[in-house]
């Protein structure tokens, strides 16, 4: 009997430990490493920009870079990925700014340079996006706003645009269709364990820490709120973190105008790095068409065979 009780306790402890690892990797904020100032900023690109400090409706302070194009209302807001930094989106941000767009790229709660708080994969990060949209409307006369999001940032863009009818177009790079499904898939793939019980307990930990529920992060459930705005899905065909089928599900479920570009061989959020010039042309062209920016002198014709 004692051995049976011991085995049960060991199994229970293992179960809790694995669930905590799932919770920590997904939702725990980034710890400062002391090297936050030793990174690239817009200064290296000689861009016309403003370093803005913003605050969300629930009191979270975070930073943003605003790349200015005086006289142009066309604005792209760039939302980065899970536990990343805004520096990671500098390449595409500068490229779009040079095409003639105002561009704002920002950090989330729990990221370096922002207030520490639990990461919620878009549930509460929508508040950062709302603050950035309000900033854009205040600073840019007659702003016409498009959203570009990567991974978790694509989900933030989807959830945020559902409540912001003024957003006119979205580019969604490597989104997931449902958070619970994504976590279960990753536990099965990485730990070779049945994902559902571990994700269930990790979800309880998230709710205890932040008040957020996994069920609140299901982008596929908000798609009807985005109609008839145009969506452009981009996904790497070799994505091992968020399977390409997530973008396909979203694309198939959406009833508004939509496009999809699967970049064969590209890893998670890797389409930009697979072919930077082509990526910039396709994203800039999409926003130019739907936000009304004349960039004919800045865009080259994309040949059909270039698109994989």
**Euclidean distance between CA atoms 132 and 113, whole angstroms:** 16
Sheet with 167-173: strands ordered across? 49-55, 61-67, 102-106, 74-79, 144-150, 167-173, 231-236, 258-263
Residues 259-271 as b/e (b if ≥16 CB within 10 A, e otherwise) read ebbbbeebbbbbb
**Euclidean distance between CA atoms 215 and 219, whole angstroms:** 10
Output the CA torsion 209→214→220→221 (10° steps): -90
**Euclidean distance between CA atoms 104 and 95, whole angstroms:** 12
Low-confidence ranges of the chain (pLDDT < 50): 300-308
Q: Helices 179-191 and 195-210: crossing angle, nearest 10°?
A: 130
Q: For the CA atoms of the chain, what is the radius of gyration?
A: 20
pLDDT of residue 160: 96
* pTM recorded for the entire structure: 0.91
The two three-digit tokens of residue 120, written as one number: 């919620």
pLDDT of residue 34: 57
pLDDT of residue 265: 96
């Amino acid at each position: 009997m004692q051995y049976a009780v011991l085995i049960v306790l060991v199994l229970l402890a293992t179960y809790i430990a694995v669930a905590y690892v799932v919770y920590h990797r997904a939702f725990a904020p980034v710890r400062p490493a002391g090297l936050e100032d030793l990174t690239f900023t817009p200064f290296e690109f000689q861009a016309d920009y403003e370093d803005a400090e913003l605050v969300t409706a629930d009191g979270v302070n975070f930073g943003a870079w605003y790349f200015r194009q005086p006289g142009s209302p066309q604005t792209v807001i760039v939302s980065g990925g899970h536990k990343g930094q805004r520096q990671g989106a500098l390449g595409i941000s500068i490229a779009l700014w040079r095409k003639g767009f105002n561009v704002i790229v920002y950090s989330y709660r729990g990221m370096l340079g922002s207030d520490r708080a639990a990461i919620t994969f878009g549930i509460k990060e929508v508040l950062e996006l709302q603050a950035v949209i309000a900033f854009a409307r205040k600073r840019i006369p007659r702003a016409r706003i498009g959203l570009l999001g990567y991974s978790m940032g694509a989900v933030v863009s989807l959830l945020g645009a559902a409540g912001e009818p003024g957003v006119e177009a979205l580019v969604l790079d490597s989104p997931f269709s449902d958070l619970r499904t994504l976590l279960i898939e990753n536990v099965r793939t990485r730990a070779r364990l049945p994902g559902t019980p571990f994700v269930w307990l990790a979800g309880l930990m998230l709710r205890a820490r932040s008040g957020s529920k996994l069920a609140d992060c299901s982008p596929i459930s908000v798609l009807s709120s985005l109609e008839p705005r145009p969506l452009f899905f981009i996904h790497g065909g070799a994505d091992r973190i968020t399977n390409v089928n997530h973008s396909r599900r979203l694309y198939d479920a959406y009833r508004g105008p939509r496009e999809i570009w699967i970049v064969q061989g590209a890893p998670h959020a890797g389409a930009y790095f697979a072919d930077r010039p082509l990526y910039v042309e396709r994203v800039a062209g999409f926003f130019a068409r739907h936000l009304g920016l004349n960039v004919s002198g800045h865009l080259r014709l994309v040949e059909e065979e270039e698109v994989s």
